[in-house]
Amino acid sequence: MRQFLSRWIVALAMLLGTASISSASTIALDVTSPTQLFSVGGFNNVGWQFQVNSTITVDGLGLFDVGSDGLAESHQVGLWTNGGVLLASATISNGSTFVTSVSTAGDWLFQNITPLALAPGTYIVGGFYATGADQVLASTTINAIPQISFLASRASFDVGFAPPGVYGIVQPGVFGPSLRIQDQAAVPEPASLLLLGSGLAVVALRLRRKGN
């Protein structure tokens, strides 16, 4: 019995020591209703400004696929400080990860980025629409996670990829891009798993010695 128990502990320790780390993620802001659909027209950069209330970790950038029938073209999505410093960017295409939206108007496509911690403060997320081939959402209801507060919609007439500027024509605004937030409580840290695995291995070794 003691020998069986020690073998079981060793196996569990090896599993914990080599376990891959994964975590759940949540869309920071989702649209929640059917909505008006707009061509961007001359507003090539569309997004929104938000306040981080408590530190979050962003692990993906995404774009809303109106109609869930695929994007007509790829889009750059960026995350900036309120002062316009680019913190992260990604290119969203039909090969990006599909994520279901609450809205029946379409769904999301997300691209992974290197996890980025955002301290409390003001930030901007924006997507670049080189043409009007893909639509954006307007006058929709939205739902943001508690860690952030939506401040204002943003859109501007830039010829290239840039942080969208002040926009106040349609309220609450026009929406295309969003963020994906890592759930910090989902999985123990790698160091914790390693320590647990090492501790179990020591217990197994002692049981073996006692059995000899």
Contact 99/111 with Cβ under 8 angstroms?
A: no
Q: How does the average pLDDT of the chain come out, rounded?
A: 80
Q: How confident is the model at residue 170 (pLDDT cuts 50, 70, 90)?
A: low
Reported residue count of the chain is 212
Q: How confident is the model at residue 24 (pLDDT cuts 50, 70, 90)?
A: confident
Residue with tokens 């996890």: 115
* Greater pLDDT, 178 or 31: 178
- The order of strands in the sheet holding 121-128 is 86-92, 75-81, 121-128, 45-52, 148-156
pLDDT at 25 (0 to 100):
85
pLDDT at 209 (0 to 100):
53
51: pLDDT strictly greater than 90: yes
168: pLDDT strictly greater than 50: yes
User: To the nearest 10°, the Cα dihedral for 110, 115, 118, 124?
Assistant: -30
pLDDT tens by residue, 130-150:
998 999 988 678 999 999 999
- For the domain bounded by 25-182, which CATH number is listed? 2.60.120.820
pLDDT at 20 (0 to 100):
39
Contact 62/27 with Cβ under 8 angstroms?
A: yes
Q: How confident is the model at residue 212 (pLDDT cuts 50, 70, 90)?
A: low
pLDDT tens by residue, 101-128:
999 999 999 999 999 999 999 999 999 9
Residues 174-193 have a mean pLDDT of 69
pTM score: 0.76
Nearest-5° Cα angle at 24, 72 to 82: 65
**Domain ranges for the chain:** 2-20+189-211, 25-182
Q: Name beta bridge partners: 97.
A: 110
